[in-house]
Structure formats: structure tokens, C-alpha cells
Amino acid sequence: MNRKRMMLIGVVVIIVAGLGAWFFLARHKGTGQSLKIYGNIDIRQVQMAFNDAGRIQTVAVEEGERVHPGLLLATLDPVRFQDAVLKAQAQVAQQREILARLLAGSRPEEIIAARARVAGATTDWRNAQLTYHRLAILLASHYVSHQAVDNARRTMQAAQAILRADRQALILAIKGPRKEDIAAARAALGVAQGTLALALRELADTKLYATSAGMIEDRILEPGDMATPQTPVFTIALDNPVWARAYIPETELAQIKPGMRADLENADFPNRRFQGWIGYISPTAEFTPKTVETTELRSQLVYQVRAYACNPTGALRLGMPVTVVIPLTSPAHTASASHPCEP
């Protein structure tokens, strides 16, 4: 009796497994007019954080609010960043004046003064030269000492050295600054301008703007909290467009391609279809995911398909199960894979 019961149970298991395999395969096949596959709306989120550390001053949105790109979400206390901008602006002004002075060269008054110094040094040298020659003549008649002549010679040589230095200073005044000094001043001005640009960027980053359209899912920090680039302030759920992650058997893969029309259905909206398109088909196969497999179908290869759909009203929620209906004879199957959605 037990043996018959065991045989009966075995037959029932085989029948159930066969029916399961048939159901899985059948529900992925269309009627010839369309193909149905099953999946879920993928969860897509953006973590919004400030680029710099600082104290949060204001938070402008609440959880559940819809946002669009460019909407102000929160601000940091800007005082420290404003001071950095003022400092950088002063450094730029200083370096700009240094460069302008070098480019302008010597002023006419400086050249006139240099010429006057050369003229004075020339007079002193000539006077020292005459004194030396006179004393040298008197030395021959023993009217002066050798020491006096030596002193006159040293005075003449010193006056000549001063004259040479003043002449070189006049040449430098006429030629103006060296090109290397001008190049160095230009580089220093560039560094100061880069510091100013960075300070302005950091000041602008005290305002946190939304980068994507969606809904505020989590408001993590509040005014007064310390924000850092590693700590998100908000989590934004990206829900327009949404995409459904589904899987198609290898035997049906040849019937679809990116850009084909793909409508999304959900049991909560029995009389409504969300029009969409196939945006991605995985280039590699994988085993049937555990969320849709039975033990007997473990060896069946499937390909991941991503079906996009516009969701302006937010009816399709992240994680929601959907049926993806792909019309195989619709002329829309030749449409482009690029389908922008209005936020």
C-alpha cells in the first residue's frame, strides 16, 4: 500500500513539474500578435550631497515632493566661502598690478634720474682722474708723498666703478623689466585667478540643486546638521521614465530588438496600458532568475530586457510587478530607442 502511495505521489510531482514548465514557457509566448514577459519596475535612486563640508542653513523641500533638474534643495552657511572669495579677489588684483607695472616698463622720470646719476658719476670720475695726475707730477719733484698718490689712485678707481654701475642702471631703466620676470608675473596671476575660480565654485556649491527629475524619498539631514560630501542630504527616486527589468527566453530573443514598442500593464490598473519601448537587451545569457524560476527550469537560458515607459503621474511605483506586452506586428516596432519623457 505504501509503495502504491509513493508511486502515486511521484506521478503527481512529475505532472506538477511539467505543468509548471509549460506555464513558464507559455506565458512568455505571444499569440502571434504580441509577446508577453514579466518583471518589476527597477528601483532607481540618486543620493544628493554637497560637494563641500559645512553647516546646513536651509532645507527647501519635504519628503514626497516632486523635483525637477535645477530646483534648489538646500543651502550651506556661505560666510566662510564668501571670505575665501574676497581673499582670492584681492590676490588677483595684487598680481594684476604687478604684471601691469612690469609691462609698463620704467617711467620717464626714472630714466631721467638714472641719466642724472650717470652725469654726476662722470664728473666725480673726471675730477678724481685730474687729481691723481696732478699728484703724480708733484711726486716726481718730491712735493707730495707716495701715500697721497696712492690715495688719489684709489679714489679715481672707485669713482670709475661707480660710473660703470650707474651706466648699467641707466641701460636697465631704458630696456625695462626682463621677459622672464614678465612671464613669472603672468604665471602668478594665472595661479591667483585659478584660486579665485575655485573659491567661486565652492561658494556656488553651498547651494544644492536637483540633478534629476523625481520624488524626494528621504530627507536625511536637517538645518544645523554638518554636511559632508560623503553624507547624502536627500534620496531622490527616479520615476520618470521608469524601466521594467524582465527576462525573455532564448527562443524568443530573435523577435525583439531595442526601440520596439513595449506596453506595461499592472493588475492595479486593469484598463490602462503605459506605452513604452525596449531600451536595452542584455548581450549575455544567464540562468533563469530565482524570482521566476522553478527547479526544473534552472537550466533554461534567459536574457535580461529593460523596457522603458514615461510615468509623468507617478502611477508606476518602483518595485511594482508589471507585464511587458511587446506588439510584434505594430509599425511602432521600428521607432527609435530614444524616447525622452517630460518631467
CATH number at residue 313: 2.40.30.170
Range name among 23-27, 205-209, 275-279 with the lowest pLDDT average: 23-27
Residue 327: exposure state from Cβ atoms within 10 A (0-12, 13-18, ≥19): middle
Residue 17 lies inside a defined structural domain of this protein: no
End-to-end CA gap in the chain = 68
Answer whether residue 206 shows pLDDT above 60: yes
Please check whether residues 93 and 179 belong to one and the same domain. yes
Q: How many domains does the chain contain in total?
A: 3
Please check whether residues 98 and 124 belong to one and the same domain. yes
Please check whether residues 112 and 212 belong to one and the same domain. no
Please check whether residues 244 and 299 belong to one and the same domain. yes
Tens of pLDDT along 115-153? 888 888 898 888 988 888 888 888 777 778 888 888 888
By C-alpha distance, which of 311, 313, 248, 317 is closest to 276?
A: 311
Last residue of a domain, one of 145, 174, 201: 201
Tens of pLDDT along 191-203? 999 999 999 999 9
Tens of pLDDT along 5-41? 555 555 444 444 444 444 444 444 444 588 888 888 8
Residue 195 lies inside a defined structural domain of this protein: yes
Percent of the chain whose pLDDT exceeds 90: 30
Q: For the full predicted model, state whether its pTM sits above 0.85.
A: no
Q: What is the mean pLDDT of residues 145-170?
A: 87
Please check whether residues 226 and 156 belong to one and the same domain. no
The beta-carbon contacts of 10-14 under 8 Å, at least 24 apart in sequence, are none
Please check whether residues 184 and 268 belong to one and the same domain. no
Q: What is the mean pLDDT of the chain?
A: 82
Provide φ and ψ at 75, rounded to 5°. Answer: -135, 155
pLDDT of amino acid 107: 77
Residue 342 lies inside a defined structural domain of this protein: no
pLDDT of amino acid 109: 80
Split at pLDDT 50, 70, 90, the class of 295 is very low
Residue 339 lies inside a defined structural domain of this protein: no
Please check whether residues 130 and 178 belong to one and the same domain. yes
Residue 1 lies inside a defined structural domain of this protein: no
Residue 24 lies inside a defined structural domain of this protein: no
Instruction: Supply the range of the domain harboring residue 91.
Output: 83-201
pLDDT of amino acid 16: 42
Q: What is the mean pLDDT of residues 300-324?
A: 84
Q: What is the mean pLDDT of residues 49-69?
A: 94
Please check whether residues 64 and 211 belong to one and the same domain. yes
Please check whether residues 89 and 70 belong to one and the same domain. no
Split at pLDDT 50, 70, 90, the class of 175 is confident
Split at pLDDT 50, 70, 90, the class of 336 is very low
Residue 57: exposure state from Cβ atoms within 10 A (0-12, 13-18, ≥19): middle
Please check whether residues 125 and 179 belong to one and the same domain. yes
Residues 6+ apart with CB under 8 A from 16: none
Please check whether residues 99 and 156 belong to one and the same domain. yes
Q: What is the mean pLDDT of residues 93-114?
A: 85
Please check whether residues 65 and 94 belong to one and the same domain. no
Residue 11 lies inside a defined structural domain of this protein: no
Residue 311 lies inside a defined structural domain of this protein: yes
53: domain CATH number is: 2.40.50.100
Q: What is the mean pLDDT of residues 89-117?
A: 87
CA-atom Rg of the chain in angstroms: 44
